[in-house]
Amino acid sequence: MVKVQSSTIGYPRIGGKREWKRALESFWSGSISEVELLTKTKEIRLDNLRKQKEIGIDLIPVGDFSLYDHVLDTSIMFGIVPTRFEYAGGKVPLDTYFAIARGNKDAIASEMTKWFNTNYHYIVPELDNVTPKLVENRPLEFYREAKKELGINGKPVLLGPITFIKLAKSSGDTPFEETVEQFTPLYIEVLKELAEAGAEWVQIDEPVFTSELSANEHKAVQKAYTAIHEAVPSLKIIVQTYFEKVANYAEVSALPVHALGLDFVHGNTIELLQKFGFPKDKVLLAGVVDGRNVWKSDLDVKLSLLDEIQSHVEKDRLIIQPSSSLLHVPVSIELESKLDNVIKGGLSFADEKLLEIVHLTKAVQDGKETIATELEENKNALTTLNNSKYRQNVVVKGNIKNLTESDVNRAAPFAERILAQRKRFNLPLLPTTTIGSLPQTAEVRKQRSKWRRGESTAEQYEQFIKDQISKWIDIQEEIGLDVLVHGEFERTDMVEYFGEKIDGFVVSQFGWVQSYGSRCVKPPLILGDVAFSQPITVKESVFAQSLTKKPVKGMLTGPVTILNWSFVRDDIPRFEVLNQIAYALRHEVEELEKNGIHMIQVDEPALREGLPLNLSDRKGYLDAAVHAFKISTASVENDTQIHTHMCYSDFNEIIDSISALDADVISIEVSRSHGELISAFEKNTYDKEIGLGVYDIHSPRVPSKDELRQNINRALKTINPNQFWINPDCGLKTRNEEETIAALKVMVEAAKEIRAEQLALVK
């Protein structure tokens, strides 16, 4: 009888209660040794594998675990260490590994950017001045560990050579094809050792195949995978794609590998099978359960999809799995004791998704009747949620439908508005500010926890927040910043906080996912219609403004970022949810303005993150993002200045959309890219005001004044000084007070010096 198998692409690293994060941060602080760190993280890793085995997954991934980032893991496996870290060869020391990711007192960290269209960040490999060599076969170590400790003949996972090279950076002119040829023998070496150790299946992740590659690039891909197949013909190699449908399906499906993993959740992959079929010589790993969202799968719908898939692929060549690694969802709903049962019944975190995979596999294997009970329970849970009060707000739907074009445009063009704003604020040339958040110390977190546990009153907690705001208004004035912020001490997270305050959202207790390094976020759940119910940020902003004559920015998270950093209901179109969020934020913007806050920052760090990987879908997304931002911000007066902030973007690619947002001032996270983004302004005209982050806040170091002067002066070669703001590249929440104050002092000193030099030039 044919055995249909189940599989997983990857599993969350962090542990149910973020044990992984605590181990890492204890090591970084010197509280535990390297040996203790490795012992603790091994326990987490083995527990993850044991759980997948007990749930009944057949092909369990090994090597998907990381101490920081899987892309960085691939770099150090091949000895790819930037020369500034003085690596001497051999296995990369752990301190060097973390220095590449976080920087140290002698060297800045490598660039960090978004992993495709997710909120996960990877460390960008730097290929300059390095000769790759296999110095540590990590997948082999993890494969042997799983076999020895748990008796699991696992599926080793590697980041594929094409994706790795595409994600890397190099200032040289080595052709892509030559770089692929350089890495192919190293991958063959890794795979040969795995084959010799007894590995049967190997998963090679190539998510870059969801993006368009050129004909020459595909020739290099074909050549590399042909060489791999010829070198290790016994291995069942899976080329695993995810996040969207494969862009060049004919070429990818023709690669000489045993199996192909496709995402049937994001992008209309089923159309590819309908149009082109599926190769008769390959196994299909069908990603039918959403690996990036937390809502329970409709098992009947998934079984219908699997029926359609089976009309193109015989059952004996079918493996069932999630659409992507479960790295992007929390661990388990078992810890969620405070959620309404209606909501909890509609949720599925990583462990529950594994059960869905097992149920679907059993149904395909033995028939739907074998999971009749599970199907009935599934149907009842989803029906109860869809018919609940959370999803029946007709007023919200009507408000969005009745918006007109004039409702989403500012009353005057930027050239007119900026004159009114300059008159109101009277800021100096090259004004200095921060992005918004200030250090959330252990004491801040402690007081919040005490309040949440009922160990202090709301009044006591509110007074504590006021004290923090007062303290930092004084510090900012002493440093000499021109535009101040209240610090966001009342906020756990820039999206979760709004999720707690806006109708239609709910916040979990343990719904943590990794964002970068040990930084974990707890995305709110958008389970119903979104609506404004009460002011969210007004009280703190007004209090901060009462303490100073300098302008204090009101701080909001924008609609696109709230959408992209939340787990979004999947029963209506995403853009409909987006507009509901935008309309709720519009009320908050108006409340801030009404209460005397005339500089309002609506952050959109995740705008580019949601950009579709397929080029043909991008315009629709960008148009929707611009429309939503303007719903949020367009109703203010001309002399109210709208700011926004974005994390690193390919500015050339989306400059028209950024301009179309019609924000008066934009700040962009750019410091880790060493000023590369500035070159975009040599090719494009940008008429609004802009701040390019002049130092990296993700790295625990204080920049020198010379370093900042260099960054500022480089920007001023292409950006008019009258347009330019000076700020760190991101919020300062994760930094400690001492280094924050020291870094901001250096920044203000550098700004003042260059301001004086610029003013002297025009005299």
Residue type, 405: E
Q: Is 435 annotated as a binding residue?
A: yes
CA distance 39 to 23: 10
CA distance 329 to 16: 11
Query: What is the residue whose two structure tokens read 């445009």?
Result: 409
CA distance 352 to 664: 45
Asked if 400 contacts 580 with a C-beta cutoff of 8 angstroms, the reply is: yes
CA distance 76 to 566: 32
CA distance 123 to 72: 6
Contacting residues for 542 by C-beta, under 8 A, at least 6 apart: 595, 596, 597
Query: What is the residue whose two structure tokens read 């934009």?
Result: 666
Q: Is 669 annotated as a binding residue?
A: yes
Q: Which residue from 91, 183, 89, 203 is spatially nearest to 137, judged by alpha carbons?
A: 91
Contacting residues for 459 by C-beta, under 8 A, at least 6 apart: none
- Residue 18, CA atoms < 13 Å, CB-side half-sphere: 18
Q: Is 719 annotated as a binding residue?
A: no
Buried b (16+ CB within 10 A) or exposed e, 315-330: eebbbbbbbbbbbbbb
Contacting residues for 624 by C-beta, under 8 A, at least 6 apart: 575, 578
- Residue 89, CA atoms < 13 Å, CB-side half-sphere: 2
- Residue 7, CA atoms < 13 Å, CB-side half-sphere: 34
Burial classification of residue 25, based on how many CB atoms lie within 10 Å of its CB (0-12 exposed, 13-18 middle, 19 or more buried)? middle
Q: Is 368 annotated as a binding residue?
A: no
Query: What is the residue whose two structure tokens read 């625990």?
Result: 700
Q: Which residues pair with 285 in a beta bridge?
A: 261, 319
Q: Is 565 annotated as a binding residue?
A: yes
Q: Is 465 annotated as a binding residue?
A: no
Q: Which residue from 684, 8, 622 is spatially nearest to 321, judged by alpha carbons?
A: 8
Q: Which of 258, 359, 627, 698 is catalytic?
A: 698
Q: Is 21 annotated as a binding residue?
A: yes
Residue type, 21: K
Asked if 98 contacts 68 with a C-beta cutoff of 8 angstroms, the reply is: yes
DSSP 298-324: -HHHHHHHHHHHHTTS-GGGEEEEESS
Q: Is 25 annotated as a binding residue?
A: no
121 in active site? no
Q: Is 488 annotated as a binding residue?
A: yes
Q: Is 603 annotated as a binding residue?
A: yes
Q: Which residue from 655, 628, 622, 658 is spatially nearest to 643, judged by alpha carbons?
A: 658
CA distance 139 to 142: 5
Sign of the CA dihedral with 604 first, then 582, 448, and 511 last: negative
Distance of CA 741 to the CA centre of its chain: 28
Query: 610 — phi, psi (to 5°)?
Result: -85, 0
DSSP 551-592: -EEEEEE-HHHHHHTSEE-SSS-HHHHHHHHHHHHHHHHHHH
Q: Is 198 annotated as a binding residue?
A: no
DSSP-assigned letter for residue 117: T
Asked if 319 contacts 285 with a C-beta cutoff of 8 angstroms, the reply is: yes
Q: Is 519 annotated as a binding residue?
A: yes
Q: Which residue from 526, 620, 625, 624 is spatially nearest to 571, judged by alpha carbons?
A: 526
CA distance 762 to 467: 43
Asked if 645 contacts 436 with a C-beta cutoff of 8 angstroms, the reply is: yes
Neighbours of 440 (CB within 10 A): 21
Q: Is 705 annotated as a binding residue?
A: no
In which element (H, E) is residue 163 found?
Answer: helix 161-167
The three-class DSSP label of residue 418 is helix
Q: Which residue from 356, 371, 364, 384 is spatially nearest to 298, judged by alpha carbons?
A: 356
Point out the annotated binding site for Zn(2+).
645, 647, 669, 730
Point out the annotated binding site for L-methionine.
435-437, 488, 603
Point out the annotated binding site.
18-21, 114, 435-437, 488, 519-520, 565, 603, 609, 645, 647, 669, 730
Point out the annotated binding site for 5-methyltetrahydropteroyltri-L-glutamate.
18-21, 114, 519-520, 565, 609
Kindly list the catalytic residues. Answer: 698
Point out the annotated binding site for L-homocysteine.
435-437, 488, 603
